[in-house]
Amino acid sequence: MTEIKYKPIGFIHSPFKEPEGTPIQPIAGQGIEGTVEVFQEYLEGLKDLDGFSHIILIYHLHLSTEFSLKVIPFMDDQSHGVFSTRAPKRPNPIGISVCI
């Protein structure tokens, strides 16, 4: 298998339009609000979501154009493998966030 394709079910809108300045840790994003737009044909899948305290968003990091297998994370001075970090520049630019 050489390729896996996903079909978007919506968009995440935030005040951040460029990778620079976007918070890389949840604590730095506290109080910043965004919206999730789910396409009409998937709205039925949101039934009963309001009964939960959190939602897990899985998304494509569309502005990530390159990757490195070894990175130096924020507030660290040692190089680590990208998969042991939260670095957004990954071979498969997939992000995950748990939102309240």
| pLDDT tens digit sequence for 19-66 | 888 887 777 788 888 899 999 999 999 999 999 999 999 999 888 889
- Higher pLDDT, residue 67 or 64: 67
Q: Six-digit token pair at 31?
A: 């109080």
pLDDT-above-70 percentage for the chain: 100
Domain ranges in the chain?
10-99
Q: Which class is domain 10-99?
A: mainly beta
User: For the whole model, what pTM was predicted?
Assistant: 0.80
pLDDT of residue 36: 95
For residues 38 and 22, what is the distance between their CA atoms, to the nearest angstrom?
22
Helix/strand/coil for 80: strand
- In this prediction, residue 9 has a pLDDT band, given cuts at 50, 70 and 90, of very high
